[in-house]
Copies of this chain bind each other. A is one copy, B any other.
Amino acid sequence: MTLENAWPDLTDVLGDRVTRSKPELEAHGASESYFPLTLPDAVAYPETTAEVSALMRICSAHGVPVIGYGAGTSLEGQAQAFSGGLVVDFARMNRVIEIGQADMDARIQPGVTREALNEELRATGLFFPVDPGANATLGGMASTRASGTTAVRYGTMRDNVLGLEVVLADGRVIRTGTRARKSSAGYDLTGLFIGAEGTLGLITEMVVRLHGQPEAVSAAVCAFDTIGDAVRAVSDTIQMGIPMARIEFVDAATVDAVNRYSGMAMPLKPHLLVEFHGSEGGVAEQAEVFGDIVAEHHGHGFEWAANAEDRKALWTVRHHAYWAILAARPGTRAVVTDICVPISRLAEAVEATQKDLEEAGIPGPILGHVGDGNFHAILLVDPTDEADLKRVKAASDRMVALSLEMGGTSTGEHGVGIGKKGFMTREHGDAWQVMGQIKRALDPQNILNPGKLAPDAN
Q: Which residues of A contact B (CB under 8 A)?
A: 100, 102-105, 144-147, 151, 156, 158-159, 168, 172-176, 178-189, 191-192, 194-196, 200, 211-212, 214, 235, 238-241, 279, 281-282, 285, 338, 340-344, 372-374, 403, 406-416, 420, 423-424, 427-432, 434-435, 437-438, 440-442, 453-454
Contacts and interface: CB of A to CB of B under 8 A. Distances in A.
Contacts of A191: 158, 188, 191-192
Contacts of A103: 342-344
7 contacts: A102-B239, A176-B431, A182-B374, A184-B415, A187-B195, A281-B285, A282-B282
A416 B180 contact: no
A437 B192 CA distance: 13
A411 B442 contact: no
Count identical subunits in the complex. Answer: 2
Given A102-B239, A102-B342, A211-B241, 4 more contacts: A180-B374, A186-B435, A279-B285, A434-B442
A231 to B, nearest CB: 12
B434 A184 contact: no
Contacts of A192: 187-188, 191-192, 438
Contact of A175 (B188, B410, B428): B428
A428 B182 contact: no
A451 to B, nearest CB: 14
A241 B435 CA distance: 38
A454 B441 CA distance: 15
A183 B437 contact: no
Q: Shortest 3 CB-CB distances between A and B: which pairs?
A: A441-B441, A102-B344, A179-B407
A146 B342 CA distance: 26
Nearest to A159: B159
Contact of A408 (B151, B180, B211, B420): B180
